[in-house]
Structure 1
Amino acid sequence: MAKDPSDVSAPDQENADEGVVLADSSVISALSAQGREHFNDVAKDHLNSPLVWALLAEGALLTGSESSDMAAYSYASTGVFLGRQLLEEAGWEPGDTLLWQHLPNQGLIRAMRARAQAARRLGAEEESTQLWADLEELCPDLPQ
């Protein structure tokens, strides 16, 4: 029987191809139910969600100013930090994958991508390159 992709209770150790699934689904439900116009309310209720910080970072990157890029870097760094905590709690070990196809994983993945983009814009090429390499290793189904 196939595993329900919305089940974020624990990684499926029987099928390593499924990778680790982070426990970050309540914010997805809240964002879906509340909509864009209530993003700040949802964000305040889910400050520990990497997805919230990734979305803030992506929004700042759209502005295109240096100060917005710095804000994006800060937002994304928070998302990456929180996502790494969730990885640890989920039992992730080096070499395990984190698949994009699992919605709860997208917060960390998007935060890493936003941080890499912000780092590049701010002139931190080495950090950006390392983040992209980490993303490619961590997330084999990363969309381009």
Structure 2
Amino acid sequence: MSENTTSRPRPELGGNLLGPKPTFLPDELDRPVRDREGDDPKKVAADHPTSPLAWALLAQESSADGDTIEAYAFARVGYHRGLDALRRAGWRGQGEVPASHEPNRGFLLCLLHLARAAEAIGETGEVERLRDFIAESDPSLSDATTLAP
């Protein structure tokens, strides 16, 4: 019987075989924005620039007004603000970011708006990466077109 010479790392005994734990953003990140529903989204974003939800709402408004480039830019800012917040919450570049956790929704909305705007301007590669990111973040969103903030 031939011996397998390919060395594969073995999982550590007692190690996590399921992958990284889900990441939950802190409530205080988007709560001030949710508390100001109905206010001018630009004023809200200016007052709370680290909130992904503030940027998602600006992207949503721009998209509804037919300004795809502005929607793309706002969603991109929110995406980066969300990545910063995820890293502070312990996220290491992979794992779920469940939509069932309300504070995660601002970031996830940015992903959805960014994917839509990227598709509208023909950024095919970016659309594919964003769809993969959305599906990895929360598999229930892989076919989502909307997500309530």
TM, length-normalised to structure 2? 0.74
Work out whether residues 30 and 106 of structure 2, in 8 Å CA contact, stay in contact via their aligned partners in 1. no
Unaligned runs of 5+ in 2: 1-18, 145-149
8 Å Cα contact 2:33/2:48 also seen in 1? no
1:94-113 correspondence runs (5 A): 94-113=93-112
Corresponding residue to 1:25 among 22, 25, 28: 28
State whether structure 2 residue 121 is matched by structure 1 residue 118.
no
Larger radius of gyration: 2
Counterpart code for 2:25? L
Q: 1:102 to 1:18 in 2, by over 3 A?
A: farther
Could you say what secondary structure the match of 1:141 adopts? helix
Question: Which residue does 2:55 correspond to in 1?
Answer: 53
Distance 2:102 2:49 in 1: 18
CA distance in 2, matches of 1:102, 1:134: 17
DSSP-derived class of the 1:37 partner: coil
Root-mean-square deviation (CA, aligned residues, Å) is 2.2
For the residues of structure 2 that align with 1:79 and 1:26, how far apart are their CA atoms?
Answer: 12
Gaps of 5+ in 1: 1-15
Equivalent pair of 1:24/1:49 in contact (CA under 8 Å): no
With structure 1 as the length reference, what TM-score do the two structures score?
0.76
Identity of paired residues, percent? 30
Q: Given the superposition, is the C-alpha separation of residues 101 and 120 from structure 1 closer, same or farther in structure 2, using an over 3 Å criterion?
A: same
1:48-102 C-alpha deviation (Å, 9 max, x unpaired): 11111111011111122xxx10011110110010100111111112442100011
Secondary structure (helix, strand or coil) at the match of 1:36 reads coil
Task: Report deviation, 1:26.
Answer: 4.8
Asked whether the 8 Å contact 2:29–2:50 carries over to 1, the reply is no
Specify the alignment match of 1:12 in structure 2: none
* 1:42 Cα deviation after fit: 2.8
1:13 aligns with none
Tell whether the 8 Å contact from 2:30 to 2:52 is kept in structure 1 after alignment.
Answer: no
**Relative to total residues, which structure has the larger helix share, 1 or 2?**
1
Deviation at 1:138, TM superposition (A): 1.5
Corresponding residue of 2:147: none
Deviation at 1:38, TM superposition (A): 4.7
The reply on whether 1:88 has 2:87 as its aligned counterpart is yes
The 3 A distance-change label for structure 1 pair 61 and 126 is same
Distance 1:138 1:34, change over 3 A: closer
Equivalent position of 1:8 in the other structure: none
